[in-house]
Structure formats: C-alpha cells, structure tokens
Amino acid sequence: MALTNSQYDTIMRGYDRRQYENYRRQCARTDEIYEKFPRIREIQEAMSACSIRQAERLFDEEPDALEILRQELSSLRAEKEQILKKAGYPVDYMEMQYTCPDCKDTGYVGQKKCHCFRQKEIELLYSSSRLQSVLEKENFSTLSYDVYDETQRTSMPPIIRTCQEYALNFRKDGKSMLFYGSVGTGKTFLSNCIAKELLDKGFSVIYFTSFQLFELLSGAISGGSENFRQAYEPLLESDLLILDDMGTELSNTFTVSKLFQILNERMLAGKSTIISTNLSLQDFRDIYSERVFSRITSSYTLLKFTGSDIRIRRKIAGSR
Ligand SMILES: [Zn+2]
C-alpha cells in the first residue's frame, strides 16, 4: 500500500500520541496506587534498587549474590501483587497497557509493519473518501449488465473493457480518463471498480466529490508553489485521483485556477486522474475554462456515457 509522506507522518504521529497517552495513564494509575498503598511505593523502590545491584553484580563472579537478589526481587514482586489482588486490582495494573500489545504501539514488529499499521493505512487510503464500504459493493465482480437499457447494452461493453484494462495495466504513467454524459449511467460505479482494483494492488487512491474538492481548494494559501505543494500533497501525490461528479459544486476563477494547477502538476509528475461529470463537454468547458478543458481533452481518454438513468429505472422496477 503506497502512502504519501504526509499520510505516513500522520500515522506515525498517531503512534507517538498513543504512546504518550498510555504513558500518562500508567503514571496516573501508579500515583493512585502509591496514594492508597504507600507500601507499594516502598516495594517499587526496593525493586529498582535490587535491579541496579543485580546489574552491577552481573560483572562479578558471584553467582550466590545474584541468586539472593533474584529471590529478593521475586518476593518483593509477590508482596506487591498480593496487595493489589487483595484490594481487587489486576496484578498488572501498574504496567504499561498497550493499545496494540503486538507492536507495543510502535506500528512495527521488527522491520515489518504491524497489522494495526496496515489497518490504519487502509483506513487512510480508502477513506479520505467514503470508499471503504462502497467498494465492497461496487467493484468489477458485482458489475451486472442487467442494469443497462437497450442502448447501453451496446454502448457500455467497450467502456467497461477500457476500464478493466486500465485497472489491469495500471502503471504510474499518468494515463487519465474523463467520464462524461448522462446522469445515472454508472460513471461513479466504474470509477469505484477501478479504485477497488488499484487499492487491492497496493496503489494509493484518493477519492473526492467535486464538492469536497472545491471546498478544500477554496482555502487561501499564502506563499509560492512550495506552499501549494505542501497544502495539497496527498492530492498531488496519490497514484490515482478520482474527482467525482464535477459540475455540481460552486466554482469560481480562484478555485478553477487551483484545479488547473493540480491537474497540471499531476500530469507533469506522471500521476493519473479520473474525472467524472454529468456535464456535456460544451458545459464543462464553459465552467472550467478553456485552459482546463484543453488540458483534459488533449491528454485524457474521453469516455462518453449514454442512455437512461439506471437508478430511476431501478426504482421504477422496484415499485412495480
Ligand atoms: Zn500493532
């Protein structure tokens, strides 16, 4: 699973925070116990002293002395556990309680990422998005030709094939696509199919509805292109960016110029983008400017979706 640097940092910061919080909790539990049972503080201090002496003796050739210390430690531990047990506390109450004992909240087991890290990775990649649950239902294996009308049964197979091949042969080469045409003809469904395929292969995919994207772009960014890169790093760095439902948002020249910058930088960096819109090409150009339009038409594969609205047809079929 390919994370961007900033996504990786976000996850690692999460571990730092978790370690700190767990440490704070351990301190609070220890304070609580010390206050209730001063004897435990004494035991704890005696145990540390023992451990230090034990360490010092390791270099001496005195096996008896070491054995005595070991026994002392174990009887101190037993006394402490007994006090805790008697008072109804778990014996490990004063130990560090890890959220994930497998990696001790470091995210790594040896050199390998822990399962809890993998999970976070997926959450982050699948979710900037509402993708996670959607992709279980919307993928190439659930795609059915039954939903299409007469004309779509002819027009859709080549489109679907193009999408399947796109996902199958996906390389980090900036091949991009524009899905345009009638409402409810399965554009989002197909971009989800591609997203699922690529995420399963370990590519990073970011999904935005145009509404979400333009909300993000409406924020002011001071400074030059370096700040721009930083602010929109995940948008610029993901292997695939999906912009869904373009044309439903409120855009202005400011946000459209940022959109151009993002599409352009991605193109120069060899990153792929899939844009879907219910707009006609004419309307698309009118809204997003000639500059954006010609960038897209000159280098994207254009797929035109036609026919009637699948969702409406389904509803009618369902109400019969
Ligand atoms: Zn873990």
Ligand 1 centre to CA of 15 (Å) is: 9
Please tell me what DSSP assigns to residue 141. G
Higher-confidence residue of 143 and 222: namely: 143
Confidence of residue 186 (pLDDT cuts 50, 70, 90): confident
> Ligand 1 centre from 106 Cα, in Å?
7
CA of 40 to the centre of ligand 1 (A): 31
Residue 121 falls inside a structural domain: no
Tens of pLDDT, residue by residue over 153-180, are 888 899 999 999 999 999 867 799 999 9
User: Is pLDDT above 60 for 129?
Assistant: no
DSSP 81: H
**91 contact partners, CB below 8 Å, separation of at least 6:** 81, 84, 85
58-74: pLDDT as tens digits: 777 677 888 888 899 99
pLDDT score at 36: 96
Residue 74 in any domain: the answer is: yes
Q: 37 CB contacts (<8 Å, ≥6 apart)?
A: 83, 84, 87
pLDDT at 1 exceeding the cut of 50: no
| Spatial distance between the Cα atoms of 66 and 55, rounded to a whole number of angstroms | 9
Q: Percent of the chain, pLDDT > 70?
A: 92
- Measured between alpha carbons, how far is residue 153 from residues 84, 141, 145, 146, 166 in Å? 72, 18, 7, 9, 20
Residue 109 CA to ligand 1 center (angstroms) comes to: 7
Quick one: how far is CA 60 from the chain centroid? 53
User: What distance in angstroms lies between residue 121's CA and the mean position of ligand 1's atoms?
Assistant: 12
Residue with the bigger pLDDT between 23 and 117: it is: 23
| Amino acid 194: pLDDT | 93
- Confidence at 139, pLDDT banded by 50, 70, 90: confident
Domain that holds residue 201: 128-319
Task: Give the number of domains in the chain.
Answer: 2
Measured in Å, residue 10 CA sits from the centre of ligand 1 at 16
- Kindly give the distance from the C-alpha atom of residue 138 to the centroid of ligand 1, in angstroms, as a whole number: 30
Residue 97 CA, ligand 1 centroid: distance in Å: 13
User: What single-letter amino acid sits at 119?
Assistant: Q
Q: Is residue 59 part of a domain?
A: yes
Q: For 212-216, which contacts have Cβ atoms below 8 Å and span 24 or more sequence positions?
A: 213/243, 213/249, 213/259, 214/249, 214/250, 214/251, 214/255, 214/259, 215/249
What is the distance in A from the centroid of ligand 1 to the CA of 123?
Answer: 15
Q: What's the CA-to-centroid distance between 81 and ligand 1, angstroms?
A: 28
Rounded distance from Cα 11 to ligand 1 centre (Å)? 12
Question: Do residues 185 and 104 share a domain?
Answer: no
Cα 153 to ligand 1 centroid, rounded to whole Å: 48
**Highest-scoring range by mean pLDDT, 200-209, 213-222, 235-244:** 235-244
Q: Do 29 and 149 belong together in one domain?
A: no
231 and 183 part of one domain: yes
Q: How far is the CA of 207 from the centre of ligand 1 (A)?
A: 27
CA of 102 to the centre of ligand 1 (A): 5
Ligand 1 mean position, distance from CA 79 (Å): 32
- The reply to whether 142 and 105 lie within a common domain is no
Helix axes of 150-168 and 187-201: crossing angle, nearest 10 degrees: 20
Are residues 207 and 86 both part of a single domain?
A: no
Of 54-58, 68-72, 104-108, 135-139, highest mean pLDDT: 104-108
pLDDT value for 30: 95
Cα 294 from Cα 276, distance rounded (Å): 16
Instruction: For residue 89, give the amino acid letter.
Output: Y
Between the CA of 200 and the centroid of ligand 1 the distance, in Å, is 21
Ligand 1 center–CA 118 separation, angstroms:
9
Residue 96 alpha carbon to ligand 1 centre in Å: 15
Dist. CA 201–CA 210, nearest whole Å: 26
| Residue 226 in domain | yes
Beta 205-209 vs 300-305: how paired, if at all? Answer: unpaired
Same domain, 165 and 236: yes
Does 123 fall in a domain? Answer: no
**Is residue 247 classed exposed, middle or buried when 0-12, 13-18 and 19+ CB atoms within 10 A define those classes?**
middle
Centre of ligand 1 to C-alpha 113, Å, is 8
Query: Do 104 and 98 form a contact (C-beta atoms < 8 A)?
Result: yes
Evaluate the CA torsion angle 272, 269, 128, 103 in order and state its sign. positive
Q: What CA–CA distance (Å, rounded) separates 215 from 291?
A: 21
Residue 122 domain-assigned (yes or no):
no
Which of 28-32, 92-96, 183-187, 234-238 is predicted least confidently?
234-238
Determine, yes or no, domain membership for 31: yes
